[in-house]
Amino acid sequence: MDIKYPLKTAYSLKVESLLNALSTDQKNGISGAEAATRSKKFGLNIYKSQKQKSLWLMAFEQFNSPIVYLLFLAGFASLYFKNPVEAKAIFIVILVNGLIGFFMELQARSSMRALKEMDVSYSRIIRGGKKIEIPSEQLTPGDLVLLEAGDVVSGDGRIVHINGLQVDESSLTGESFPVVKTSETLNADTEPSAALNMVYKGTAVINGNARVIITGIGENTQLGKISEMVGRSAPTKTPLDIKISKLTKKLIWITLIMTAIFAVSGVIEKKPWLQILETSIALAVAAFPEGLPIVATVALAHGMLLMARKNAIVKKLSAVETLGGVNVILTDKTGTLTENKIFVEVLSFPGEELNVAIKKGILEYKGARLQKSHENFELLVRIGSLCNDASLEGADKGKKSSGDPIEIALLILASAAGFHAENNIGEFKRISEMPFSSETKIMGTLHKGKTNFFVSAKGSVEDLLSKCKKIQLGSAQGNLDGSGREKILSRAEALSSSGLRVLAFAYLISTERPGDNYLQELIYVGMVGFLDPPRTDIKDAISACHSAGIRIVMITGDHPMTALNIAKKVGITALEDNKVIAGSELPEMELLGDEWKERILSTTVFARTTPKQKLEIVDVYQKAGYIVAMTGDGVNDAPALKKADVGIAMGLRGTQVAKETASIVLKDDSFTSISQAVAHGREIFQNIQRFVIYLVSCNLSEIFIVTLLGFFAQGSMLFPLQILFLNMVTDVFPALALGLGKGDSTIMQRPPRDPRMDIVSSRNWMVILIYALMMTCSVLLSIFLCRIYVGSDVRVINNVAFLTLASSQLFHVFNMSSLHSGMLGNEVTKNKFVWIALLLCFFLIVVVYLFQQSRDALNLDIIPFQAWVLAGLSSMLPLVLVQLYKLVFEKRSIPGRSKKTLVRPA
């Protein structure tokens, strides 16, 4: 028999119609044979997780960049001109860079695999009239599932029988408080997220039990639809990728222009074609910084390892730097900013109200202490303990509490106040219960004490007040008249509007057992305001982000007032700012005009948002030029996590979908780790900027030297392999050391860099040109002096030019310190890696001269001692000039005025 599947509005069908549509039975479910048939037809109850890249694709991506393409071109050109040594050196560079990137991403994948949950979930169902347990992936439409407290729902389903069922749907909606379910048929125009007679895959049962007919599995669940949205959301190309791509294009143009100028001049001067081609190759080798990909990869990998030590697993190298450029963080509330636990926040008694907190198991008062409502407080604690189905048993031994979060909060309140729940429960034996329902909105219990009967009740303020005739006023009681009711309701509304979940409490003592309807003529005691409180470390972390010029925006599925209250508590928004946008107010994306976009960009709190709206808010910020980080832990956050420039998922309480989608996973779920990660990211960009300026200025000096010597001293021109040696040894190791340096202490006290700013700004290009000209002058000076004091042998002049350029580039690393810093005690001289790199480079130069084979490969000879001295002295010229400029600048600095830097940090 064909069944109607998928059922998009199962919540609007009567139970009989639902059973007919799915051809199932309310008591016996479907048969095993029918289940097997449906599984073949509709598939398994799994959603399509994002396909993990194959190792081959991951390896290929390491070589898929313009820089690597140019290196391949240079390598094959060297082979064509029968220069195998040079070709081998280039290909080794490409291989080393690829291996570093590959193994770092492989390490991130291993870390993510360790975070994945290894347990297979099971579901209790009835098939063919028998209760059995099956793997949840084998659920099929029409199955009859049994749910009870502690279960995770394994498929979307319609409730057909219920007993006080409450479900935590925060992973889907962001709502902190559990949802009270019903079995009643709803209207067809009801939103699926508001369908109280449905349960959804991935949510958790907090209280009660139910029987559910499965109406959706796999991709046809709410969770599956969100997962599909994640798949459709295209990942954003990272800002670092864009900036390096732009830099590469500029370097390509510089190479082409300089090579073309030299080639044209060679043709005009009627030089041999082979000589023109060989010199053009030398220019191409000189122009392009072969070490750039290796240094960038190592710097990012180093940052990735540092962040791993700070509990942040980075899944993609480029995300490290991107996080440093973030200027807005869109954050979820539940579990990210808050504890994802419910606690008592306000105690409201007739004539007295208290703000409280529970820290380390002790009740603390935020301001005035309890004065005249001691009897009310004791009664409220007793009612909260007795009218309660939760359990704290073994919580002090590390075991998890179980039950409704609000009821757990009431037990914690009793324990913190010294009124242990077990004492009340032992003294008053429960003999009857009226469970909470969406119709009555009240829970009541009847207990037998030693001498009398005790009725305890809790529920919505309005509904419970309708059952009360008296009010507790300390040790006395009074009649509850109309004005008294209005006063209580007004206060309850004020508490609710501040973002609290409010419940009222009442009781009755009787010497005779009340009848079945014992929730009558009760005595009102007071109200409690509940809140999912902010994490203890969150305020300092948000303050640090604000100091760094980063905007924090809350996007949650929770109640608007609850969201606004938390935002004020943690410092996201000012205390006087009451601006919040609810998801119901937001128009469709295609209808967003400029006015709405400006309103979105000026708002810091969004509530009752859907996954689609979160995605659209990210898009609005990105199109406005922001670099966006998105944090979250629920399935509902996954599409926005993928769309954001940096997606940050919570590793502990985050869903697997969120962790698979994000580019960074926090192992400790702490927002503080984000602040630390941003600092690392900024430090890395600063380092990348420094070593790029260093590398490009060194390479530009090589272009000038090759071009000038090609015109005026062809015989003494630097050879391609000599240039490659400089690029891969004397350039790379100091640049690598700069990439591993530490940032200064003020890095999180500056505004974010302009997202449109290139790695090398216009001003930096001018600085690079000056540096390159100084190194070029030092080489020309050494050649000039060599001709005077040593001789005109072209081999000696070539060697002097080579040694001068190598040494000047090594000393040039000290010019990378900020302008206002002195020669000693700056961020470069304090970097131990710089000193190691310099010693290694000078050692390699000496080693090359010691062996005949290496000298022959690089066209080097044993030269006179005077030539070494000339090369050494001339190479100091750029360092001396820059340090003199710094000294003069420092003396001319005006106190109190911000000092410019020669190498502008991020």
Tokens encoding 535 = 């994490």
Residue (of 97, 82, 90, 88) closest to 284 by Cα position: 90
Residue 213 in this model has a pLDDT that exceeds 90: yes
Catalytic residue among 332, 532, 619, 731: 332
Residue 903 in this model has a pLDDT that exceeds 50: no
Question: 220 by DSSP, 3-state: which?
Answer: helix
pLDDT for 142: 93
pLDDT in tens, 766-790: 989 999 999 999 999 999 999 898 8
pLDDT in tens, 507-533: 999 999 998 889 999 999 999 999 888
CA–CA separation, 42 vs 525, rounded Å?
55
Give yes or no for a contact between 90 and 288, defined as CB atoms under 8 angstroms apart: no
581-582/501-510 β-pairing: unpaired
pLDDT for 529: 95
Confidence label for 144 from pLDDT (cuts 50, 70 and 90)? very high
Residue 478 in this model has a pLDDT that exceeds 80: yes
Residue (of 757, 764, 766, 771) closest to 699 by Cα position: 771
> Which of 164-173, 225-234, 422-431, 701-710 comes out lowest in average pLDDT?
225-234
Residue 114 in this model has a pLDDT that exceeds 60: no
pLDDT for 890: 54
CA–CA separation, 552 vs 555, rounded Å?
10
pLDDT for 254: 76
Which domains, from first to last, does the chain contain? 10-49+122-221 (2.70.150.10), 271-303+685-742+756-892 (1.20.1110.10), 312-338+536-669 (3.40.50.1000), 348-530 (3.40.1110.10)
pLDDT in tens, 301-340: 777 777 777 778 887 766 777 788 889 999 888 777 888 7
Confidence label for 101 from pLDDT (cuts 50, 70 and 90)? low
Counting DSSP H helices and E strands in the chain, the numbers are 31, 25
Residue with tokens 């009857």: 432
pLDDT for 249: 76
pLDDT in tens, 385-410: 999 888 876 544 344 667 788 999 99
User: Where does residue 413 rank: exposed (0-12), middle (13-18), buried (19+ CB within 10 A)?
Assistant: buried
> Which of 186-200, 274-288, 440-454, 639-653 comes out lowest in average pLDDT?
274-288
Give yes or no for a contact between 173 and 556, defined as CB atoms under 8 angstroms apart: no
Residues 6+ apart with CB under 8 A from 728: 89, 93, 290, 291
CA–CA separation, 315 vs 107, rounded Å?
8
Residue (of 28, 27, 24, 29) closest to 1 by Cα position: 24
pLDDT in tens, 253-309: 877 787 787 778 777 767 777 666 666 766 666 666 656 666 776 777 777 777 777
pLDDT in tens, 601-625: 999 999 988 888 888 999 999 999 8
Give yes or no for a contact between 403 and 390, defined as CB atoms under 8 angstroms apart: yes
CA–CA separation, 99 vs 63, rounded Å?
10
DSSP code at position 590: G
Q: What is the residue-wise DSSP string for 622-641?
A: HHTT--EEEEE-SGGGHHHH
Tokens encoding 812 = 């040039």
Mean pLDDT over each residue of the chain, to the nearest integer:
81
CA–CA separation, 75 vs 86, rounded Å?
7
Give yes or no for a contact between 644 and 620, defined as CB atoms under 8 angstroms apart: no
pLDDT for 896: 39
pLDDT for 905: 31
Residue 730 in this model has a pLDDT that exceeds 80: no
Residue 119 in this model has a pLDDT that exceeds 50: no
Mean of the pLDDT values across residues 550-567? 88
CA–CA separation, 452 vs 147, rounded Å?
37
Starting at the edge strand found earlier in the chain, the sheet holding 551-555 runs 312-314, 664-666, 646-650, 628-632, 328-331, 551-555, 605-607, 581-582
Tokens encoding 337 = 């900013």
Mean of the pLDDT values across residues 19-30? 91
pLDDT in tens, 738-751: 888 876 667 777 78
Beta bridge mates, 343: 531
pLDDT for 66: 63
To the query of whether residue 332 is one of the catalytic residues in this protein, the response is yes
Residue with tokens 């807005």: 328
> Which of 90-104, 349-363, 851-865, 872-886 comes out lowest in average pLDDT?
90-104
**Of all residues in the chain, what percent carry a pLDDT higher than 90?**
29
**Of all residues in the chain, what percent carry a pLDDT higher than 70?**
83
CA–CA separation, 727 vs 805, rounded Å?
11
Residue 139 in this model has a pLDDT that exceeds 90: yes
Give the chain's end-to-end CA distance (angstroms, integer).
Answer: 67
CA–CA separation, 519 vs 508, rounded Å?
9
Q: What is the residue-wise DSSP string for 710-749?
A: HHH-GGGPPPHHHHHHIIIIIIHHHHHHHHTPPPPTTGGG
pLDDT in tens, 33-83: 999 999 999 988 876 555 566 788 878 877 776 667 766 876 787 677 676
Task: State residue 162 phi and psi, 5-degree precision.
Answer: -140, 150
Tokens encoding 537 = 């470390």
pLDDT for 899: 37
